[in-house]
Amino acid sequence: MDSAAEIDRCLESFFAGRLPFDRLVIALKSLRAAGDQHGAIPERLQYWVDLGRLPVDLQALICTELGLSSRQATQDVLDEPTVPLAGRPAPAPQAPAVALPTGQAMPIGQAMPTGQAMPTGQAMRDRVDEVIVDALIGNFTGLRGRGRGDKSPRDDAALDANLADFRSLRFRRDASNAEAGRARRFELDPRQETRAIGIGTMLKDRFILDSEIGRGGMGTVYSAVDRRRLEAMHRQPYVAIKLLSGDFRRHPDALRTIEAEARKAQDLAHPNIVTVHDFERDGQHPFIVMELLDGVPLDVLLAKTPGKPPPPTMTDAIIRGLCAGLAHAHQCSVVHADIKPANIFVSLQHTVKLLDFGIASATRAGGFDPTTLGGLTLPYASPGMIEGAAREPCDDVYGLACVVYLILSGHHPFSGASAVAARDQRLTAQRPAGLSDQAWTVLAGALAFDPALRPVDAGAFQRAFYGTPPLAG
């Protein structure tokens, strides 16, 4: 076995980000155990130091881990990174440049005074990451700097490999920092392509948009073929894709919150809540993948008989399903924040599904008026939501009460006025015909502008409302 070549291979893998520091040490220990007791390892480490690729503090650390002695191992020095990481100021050159194997020159930082303690723990892990990033950038700039006429397929392959290694390292480091509470802000790259999306478009090389089934301020909903389901011969190869409005590209904070809310919705397994499969992004186009439903939104259903409620059997099924789904969400500490007829889907079997959890609060997190992107519907929003108060389950109860009143009577309780306008004008809702005394008392309390007078959550509303039959006679 050529020990020098094997040591170089291990170090190259380390600098490419493919071999963690602890596994590098294990690999070098294995080489020692295989017969390289005192020769090649310290010599090759020193060779890499002389090249300017391996900082002396890491050389000393490796020697310590291997139980080797080195003329640098006892100096306890810490030099600056050869190439600064993004967001850090570049160090002033302190020494002559040293030619790297790629042909590029890279300055060597000045060593810290002798006696400085070697960094440990997180500081050393950050130092190891910097060494790998420096090496990847050095390899990239070397390959990038060659003229087109001199490039070969091998050069292109090496460039692609280095770029892939660099991206992999960045994301692994970002994940590690996020776990430690040092998450980095990500922004959508404005340089990414902005192709038009429509029928026939394939997203993420997987979802083929088949037909448009809905459109609103937040975006457009399509039925789409899921290639993975199709290839697996699934009986239902279709899913619903909600392609969010392009305006969200200007509000990354809102986009991140919508993604977080979509992740929460994935955990809300309930027959009356739409199943959210995933939150994805194709270039600058964010979208939510959901189950495909067969039916119509409640607002479309009610528009078929304007001013009149649905038949009693359908009315009862819709109200019960709506209460059950929202009560489950509240039990899981999730607030919908935008209860309205358009976000309530009624299947052909009169099963209710709640859609779009957390959209209103997500838009508010972006620092702009949620009504501008359809994230808040004034006739169904509580006074607290309109005035920017923290969202609470009782805010959902207000929207729920408005929808229940609409279903029972065919009209909005305040003729479509916002809660703030209705409060300021001292408007009152009239009792729907046929509603029992207890059910009306509960419904009127849920329509209160003062949150303290409403049921605390949908479960409390459901229990009180159904204490007696909801419809008299």
Q: Where are the beta strands (DSSP E) in 245-304?
A: 276-282, 285-290, 295-297
Question: Is 338 a residue of the active site?
Answer: yes
The tokens for 431 are: 């009792």
Spatial distance between the Cα atoms of 59 and 51, rounded to a whole number of angstroms: 13
Spatial distance between the Cα atoms of 9 and 299, rounded to a whole number of angstroms: 65
Question: Contact, 310 vs 301, CB < 8 A?
Answer: yes
Question: Contact, 227 vs 241, CB < 8 A?
Answer: no
Burial degree of 211 (CB within 10 A; 0-12, 13-18, 19+): exposed
Q: Please list the helix, strand and coil fractions of the chain in percent, rounded to the nearest 5, in that order.
A: 45, 10, 40
> Which of these, 303, 125, 282, lies nearest to 203 by C-alpha position?
282
Question: Contact, 343 vs 216, CB < 8 A?
Answer: no
Q: 3-class DSSP state for residue 95? A: coil
Spatial distance between the Cα atoms of 445 and 401, rounded to a whole number of angstroms: 9
Spatial distance between the Cα atoms of 417 and 36, rounded to a whole number of angstroms: 83
Q: Of these residues, 57, 129, 226, 338, which one is catalytic?
A: 338
Question: Contact, 329 vs 278, CB < 8 A?
Answer: no
Question: Contact, 238 vs 210, CB < 8 A?
Answer: yes
Q: Which helix (H) or strand (E) holds 219?
A: strand 219-226
Residue 247 DSSP label: G
Residue 295 DSSP label: E
Spatial distance between the Cα atoms of 336 and 329, rounded to a whole number of angstroms: 8
> Which of these, 66, 70, 171, 65, lies nearest to 124 by C-alpha position?
65
Question: Contact, 85 vs 132, CB < 8 A?
Answer: no
Q: 99: which strand partners?
A: 105
Spatial distance between the Cα atoms of 325 and 275, rounded to a whole number of angstroms: 12
Spatial distance between the Cα atoms of 101 and 153, rounded to a whole number of angstroms: 19
By annotation, the residues acting in catalysis are 338
